[in-house]
């Protein structure tokens, strides 16, 4: 070793003593490395980590919000459905009540109408009857008088008219008939 050192004209190295040129070179190299990595790489990694955390937490939050919204909508729909059911029942009840009312109305009207028709028929019958009776009375009187005249041979017509004999007779008939 010493031989070599003598040949090369160099001094023997002491491994525990740093070579100042190497400190300078190593220092510059390491500072360059520090500068580049600490300025351009690792802060961006922190940002990415943060963004990742945000993305995951945001996703969870969004899912929770969606879940809450869905639950709210479900509740709403349920409430609406219940309301609709109540409404439907009410409408049905109302309709039933209305139908009943209408039926009653129609029934009442029909009864009234039939009563009216019957009453009108009765009145007409009575009137016709009265007319017929009146006509019959006249006719029967005339016929009877004619008949009696033929039988008796004399005209009784004036006499009969004058004294109301026929009417009286007929009234007597009617009263016996009614009895």
Partner 1 sequence: MFGQANVLAQGQAEFPPSVEDFYLPSILPWGAHDSYWFTKITFMVWLAVGVLILFFLLSYRNPQLVPTKKQWFAESVYGFVRNNIAVDMIGHAGVRFAPYFTTLFCFVLMTNLFAILPFFQVSPNSHIAFPAFLALISYVLFNYIGIRHHGFKKYFKHALIPPAPWYILPLLIPIEAFSTFIIRPFSLAVRLFANMFAGHMLLLVFTLGGFAMLSANSLLAPVSLVSWLMTVALTLLEALVIVLQAYVFTVLSASYIQGALAEEH
Pick 9 or 153: Cβ nearer partner 1: 9
User: Which residues, including other chains, have CB under 8 Å from residue 141's CB and lie 6 or more apart?
Assistant: 160, 166, 167, 170
Q: Which is nearer to partner 1, 61 or 78 (CB)?
A: 61
Q: Give the helix/strand (H/E) hosting 35.
A: helix 20-36
Which lies closer to partner 1 via its Cβ, residue 37 or residue 99? Answer: 37
> Smaller CB distance to partner 1: residue 6 or 136?
6
Cα(149)–Cα(169) distance, integer angstroms: 16
Residues in contact with partner 1 by CB under 8 A are 1, 4-5, 8-23, 25-27, 29-30, 32-34, 36-38, 40-49, 51-52, 55
In angstroms, give the least distance from the CB of 73 to partner 1: 31
CB of 89 to partner 1, least distance (A): 55
As a dihedral over the C-alpha atoms of residue 116, residue 118, residue 120, residue 126, rounded to 10 degrees, the angle is: -150
Tell me the torsion sign for CA atoms 74, 76, 79, 84: negative
Q: How far is the CB of 24 from partner 1 (least distance, A)?
A: 8
In whole angstroms, how close is the CB of 53 to partner 1 at the nearest point? 10
- By the 8 A CB rule, do 116 and 137 touch? no
């Amino acid at each position: 070793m010493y031989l070599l050192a003598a040949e090369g004209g160099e001094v023997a190295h002491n491994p525990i003593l740093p070579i100042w040129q190497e400190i300078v070179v190593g220092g510059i190299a390491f500072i360059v490395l520090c500068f580049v990595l600490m300025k351009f790489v690792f802060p961006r990694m922190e940002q990415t980590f943060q963004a990742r955390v945000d993305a995951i937490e945001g996703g969870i939050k969004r899912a929770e919000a969606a879940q809450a919204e869905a639950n709210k909508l479900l509740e709403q729909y349920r409430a609406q459905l219940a309301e609709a059911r109540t409404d439907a029942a009410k409408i049905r009840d109302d309709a039933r009540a209305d139908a009943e009312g209408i039926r009653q109305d129609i029934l009442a009207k029909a009864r009234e109408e039939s009563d009216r028709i019957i009453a009108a028929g009765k009145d007409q019958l009575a009137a016709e009857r009265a007319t017929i009776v009146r006509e019959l009375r006249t006719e029967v009187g005339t016929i009877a008088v004619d008949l009696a005249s033929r039988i008796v041979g004399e005209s009784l017509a004036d006499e009969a008219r004058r004294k109301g004999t026929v009417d009286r007779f007929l009234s007597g008939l009617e009263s016996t008939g009614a009895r």
